[in-house]
Chains A and B, each alone.
Chain A
Amino acid sequence: MPDCKNKRRGDVMLEFTLVGIPLIFILISVVEMARGMWTYHTLAHAVKEGTRYAIVHGYNCSLAPNNCQVTVAQIAQRVREAGVGLMPNELRIELRSEGDTVLCSTLDNCLTNNNFWPVYPNSQIGQRVTINGTYPFRSAIAMFWPGAGGGMNFGTFLLPASSTETIQF
């Protein structure tokens, strides 16, 4: 009996090692994939909302009696409001019309940019505007990568999203 009992010592540890590690890996992977998709969907929604906002505030907004021109800051604010959970100091967006581009290295930088956008002649009805956004996604899966190192030095993915629409007003 003592022999038999001693032989079973370590079984649980071995089983846990064989089953637990892949299980934890799968668990973290699923969670991280879901988190990544969540972040991506939010980013895509945010740039879409920003673009939708810009296309109904085109050149005609600048003509009296209309008074509805919008600034880079207002569009950036729209993106911020739609991007719930996205950190403005990590979100990078690019406002692109057919003739000019405004680059926000972070959304924060554009929240104080009071230049009108898009500007004539790129603000005419029928012109296209595009908002590109990128957001860093640091995944815990990266810790399984060889050479990932210890601590929280995980790899970073840049999630991209883009929305293009035609100016309506």
Chain B
Amino acid sequence: MRHRKNRKRGQILVMVTLALFMMAGIMGLAVDLGWSYFTKKSAQTAADAAALAAAEAAFAAESDEDANSTYDCGTEVACVPLSQCPSPIPNPPTNNIEVGCLYAKQNGFQVQPGGRQNVTMNSGNTPNPPTVPGVTVYYWATARVAEGIPQLFSSMLGNTLNLASARATGAIIDSTIAGSLILLNRERDCVPMNLGSQPICGVDLLVQANNNQGMDAVRADGGVLMASVLNGTNDPSGEGNYSGENQGGGLVRAPFTFIRGDGTVSLGGSSQWIQSPTNGFSDRSYFRDPMRGKGSPPPPAPGLQDIPIMGGALMGSNDPNNPTIYSPGNYYAVKQVGGTLVPTGDPLTMSGYLKFQADSDGFGDWVFFGGLRNQSAGTVMTVDPGRYVIAGVRSNGNNVTPGFDIQVNMSITDNGPPNAAPAPSNAGEIFIFTDPTYLGGPAGDIPLTIPVALQNSPVLNDLKFGISGFQTGNNADIQVNIHGLNRDSGALPAELKDFTPVVMWQDQQNSVIQYTPRGYIDNSCGNLDPQQGCANSALDNAASTEMFFKASPSLHIYGTVYQPRGAFTSMIGAGGYDSPLMIIAGALMVHANSNVRLQELDSPLYVKMVALVE
């Protein structure tokens, strides 16, 4: 028995030892696995940051020089084969790839001699990144981040090191902008949109129209985006405004309405809003001006012919088949004083049949100083593809006048087909509504060329922002048929490609909010509320911020109508607007019997941006 008893001694020790081995093993396995996942997640974060930073740096470096850059490989924009990040990383970095390496380091991953971490990058300007088939880009940068993880349990099986790795690719891409109706005004942006009375603050969509002739008051097939956060209780102006106000008993119809923050809509009487708006969105990119960072459409290059027009009369023919031809040029009205032609600053007036005929390359530039209007009913203005700049109009006392006044029955047409946006077979048109101080281009530093005669004339200072758009008046015979810029046309000047399919552009300086030359909201005044922006102290009259489509014309405008934040668009009267059209505006007021249907565009508006594509 003693022998048997002695044999049992130590059994517990063996059992506990075996159990501890098992416990330690399984715990070690769980820890190994958990740590590997954690490390992989960290590596992915570092790879994302590195790839995005490298692409962002290339984007920033190249955008300083040319918005239409092809991102040629060079000093600042590096195209490198797969290679390790330098150790140490130069600070400041000498190219965009080293910027990416720095970001990886800031996220905990760097190349060190004898270390367990590795960071490699490669980049190029080929249209298809090697690791991301099916994606077309301008420039790409791929980051690979890895770390060897010593194993607790697996090492007993001979696996001493596990590798956690991640890969990401950042790229400069063309991205589309969603929405048929993008309304940019925020809660403190006040514009005189209530038919000229007191300014209204923070109302993005004001509908005072009913449904008519089978049309909804407003129908936006591509959706609605509103940047104001007003919900009736949080209005800083104390007016109790809402982001959207549907007061006319009509229907606002859109597949989606996204509202920033706590913004909501109010419905008066039998008014409806289908689908119900969704709010609660943070301040995302699509609540900001989609044109930010692009600058403004460049003005025509210097060298355009100066064409003084006696009495401002642009005379047309009586034969619709043989209209009077007007070539590209800088047009301005003059009068004769003692044998000298003196600019008057008056609008150029049209009559009869006129054609603005493009150069042989299929695209033309016309600049009209003093505005445009028609003299008599029945005028037909045929426009070839081109850039039409309305460079200021003389105001009438305190009243701002329209830049393009066609209240007397007149038609404007490019003879393009209906329901096509942009122009299907040519470069299309862009109408720029501005004044003689216009600065365009990606950096907003290319001035409009002023004719010498006007430079020396006192009337130049009288030319201010007019109301944008076409002053159509209450005349159902008015026909406007124009198509926006077509990015696929070989005739389109390269510097305008970033602005397709814009058909109408209101100068960003014609806003109650100050814009920077590159098209960002200017907060340099030190306003504590970053959403408010700085007031545009250079603006003469807030009434000029209006873009309008009034009365009952037959408007067929295809493409994107753009005006900046801090402005507003009016649709008033019995007009029915039904076409592929995107409206980017500060705010939109649809009044009286007006109805609007915004169909989706065939070719959407693109913005160049940096994104993770893998």
Q: Do A and B bind each other?
A: yes
Q: A residues touching B (Cβ–Cβ < 8 Å)?
A: 5, 8, 12, 15-16, 19-20, 23, 27, 30-31, 34-35, 37-38, 41-42, 44-45, 48, 52, 55-56, 59-61, 63, 65-68, 98-99, 120-121, 124-126, 168-169
Interface pair A44/B37, CB less than 8 Å apart: yes
- Cβ of A28 to closest chain B Cβ, rounded Å: 10
Q: B residues touching A (Cβ–Cβ < 8 Å)?
A: 1, 5, 8, 12, 15-16, 19, 22-23, 26-27, 29-30, 33-34, 37, 40-41, 44, 132-136, 173, 175-176, 178, 223, 255-256, 278, 284-286, 604, 611-614
Interface pair A56/B614, CB less than 8 Å apart: yes
Interface pair B612/A169, CB less than 8 Å apart: yes
Which single residue of chain B is at the shortest CB-CB distance from A8? B5
* Other-chain residue from B23, B44, B134, B176 in contact with A27 (beta carbon distance below 8 A): B23
Q: A27-B23, A66-B136, A68-B134 are in contact. List 6 more A-B contacts (CB 8 A).
A: A8-B5, A20-B15, A41-B30, A45-B37, A67-B134, A126-B285
Interface pair A121/B223, CB less than 8 Å apart: yes
CB within 8 Å for A125 and B611 given contacts A23-B15, A60-B176, A66-B136: yes
* Other-chain residue from A37, A45, A126 in contact with B40 (beta carbon distance below 8 A): A45
Interface pair A60/B223, CB less than 8 Å apart: no
Interface pair B173/A30, CB less than 8 Å apart: no
Q: What are some 14 contacts across the A-B interface (CB < 8 A)? A: A31-B22, A31-B23, A41-B33, A41-B34, A42-B37, A48-B41, A52-B44, A56-B612, A61-B134, A66-B135, A68-B135, A125-B611, A168-B612, A169-B173
Task: Tell me what chain A mostly uses at the interface: helix, strand, loop, or mixed.
Answer: helix
Interface pair A125/B614, CB less than 8 Å apart: no
CB within 8 Å for A68 and B255 given contacts A27-B22, A34-B29: no
- Cβ of A2 to closest chain B Cβ, rounded Å: 10
Interface pair A169/B611, CB less than 8 Å apart: yes
- Cβ of B176 to closest chain A Cβ, rounded Å: 6
- Cβ of A60 to closest chain B Cβ, rounded Å: 5
Interface pair B30/A34, CB less than 8 Å apart: yes
CA of A44 to CA of B12 in the docked complex: distance in angstroms?
Answer: 39
- Cβ of A139 to closest chain B Cβ, rounded Å: 13
Q: What are the 7 closest A-B residue pairs judged by CB atoms, nearest first?
A: A68-B134, A34-B30, A126-B284, A168-B612, A34-B26, A67-B134, A65-B136
Contacts of B8 in A (CB 8 A): 12
CA of A59 to CA of B256 in the docked complex: distance in angstroms?
Answer: 16
* Other-chain residue from A30, A42, A55, A124 in contact with B286 (beta carbon distance below 8 A): A124
Contacts of B133 in A (CB 8 A): 68
- Cβ of A57 to closest chain B Cβ, rounded Å: 9
- Cβ of B131 to closest chain A Cβ, rounded Å: 11
CA of A126 to CA of B275 in the docked complex: distance in angstroms?
Answer: 21
Contacts of B135 in A (CB 8 A): 61, 66, 68, 169
Interface pair A23/B16, CB less than 8 Å apart: yes
Interface pair A120/B178, CB less than 8 Å apart: yes
